[in-house]
Amino acid sequence: MSEVKKIATREAYGKALAELAATNPNVVVLDADLAKSTKTADFAKVAPDRFFDCGIAEQNMTGVAAGLAAAGKIPFASSFAVFSTGRAFEQIRNSVAYPKLNVKIAATHAGISVGEDGGSHQSIEDIALMRALPNMTVIVPADAEEARQAVLAAAEYNGPVYLRLGRLATDAVFGADYKFELGKGVLVRPGSDIVIFACGMMVGEAMKAADLLAEEGISAAVANIATIKPLDTAFIAAQAAACGAALTVEEHSIIGGLGSAVAETLAETTPVPFGRVGVEDQFGQSGSPAVLLRAYGLTAENIASRAKGVIAKKK
């Protein structure tokens, strides 16, 4: 991993929006009265005439974004993930995905690392909701650099996009030389005994798990699956076949997210011993991010342990 200070992907999102303000006059930004938290305030400072605070009304914000997209603008609509996808699901489905409008839903504060806000604010089902929608592209950046590039790529892509961003400052996985490519998986660490497919902040944790496994003589590959949909099925099948075992890691429910997407692919193409690490069919709870990540098994130590369990099934 690159030796760069920890930065939250929501921070990178705000900076990327400010960058787009100067380069793309069609980009507009909408927020649901959370601009300081979602970091859309960075855009508002440099392009106030293209920033719209829609208030605590995600459903209406999504409808406004759809209208702006129909008029040729490129709207980024932001709120917390639990509200972006939960409160406004019908509007996303019928006003954005169904007509395939060029709306970017940029949701911050996803997963249990939201911390003390508790289960009501910890979105662990948003990937499942968004990947089930036809026409929707789903992106979960691993770190700040990938988040920045993903925002720029989303602005260039013509169609609905769901960008999942985090509150917590996370490890840097990629340097400035990294090139994000929509729809492509990336091998961030080679290995031969098992491949760990991860997304979001769990990519950094998977890298740490691979270090722990290496101390025991186990060679673990780590693959970053930033684009959950469209999924790079050929890449996933090839990596699983090369290692003969696979594990997924995500800060999301194991139902319907990265784990389900990879399981579906492997079941149809490359059946190998397989496991999923994530939130196991339960809601989050209040606590510090570090305590919650340990409680739900989203740590390098648990990932390494689960990886060994999957490898044991290879025989």
- Catalytic positions are 58
Nearest to 194 by CA among 149, 131, 243: 243
CA distance 83 to 122: 10
Identify residue 170 by its one-letter amino acid code. Answer: T
Ranges of H-type helices in the chain? 9-23, 35-38, 41-46, 58-70, 81-86, 89-91, 126-131, 144-156, 202-214, 233-243, 258-269, 289-295, 300-311
Q: Hey, what's the torsion of the CAs at 29, 30, 35, 41, to 10 degrees?
A: 20
- Kindly tell me the burial class for residue 49, based on how many C-beta atoms sit within 10 Å of its own C-beta (0-12, 13-18, 19 or more): exposed
How far is C-alpha 289 from the geometric centre of its chain's CA atoms?
A: 17
CA distance 123 to 257: 12
| Contacts (Cβ under 8 Å, ≥6 apart) of 189 | 207, 210, 220, 221, 222
CA angle (244 as vertex; 241, 247 as ends), nearest 5: 100
Residue 93 per-residue DSSP state: I
Residue 112 per-residue DSSP state: G
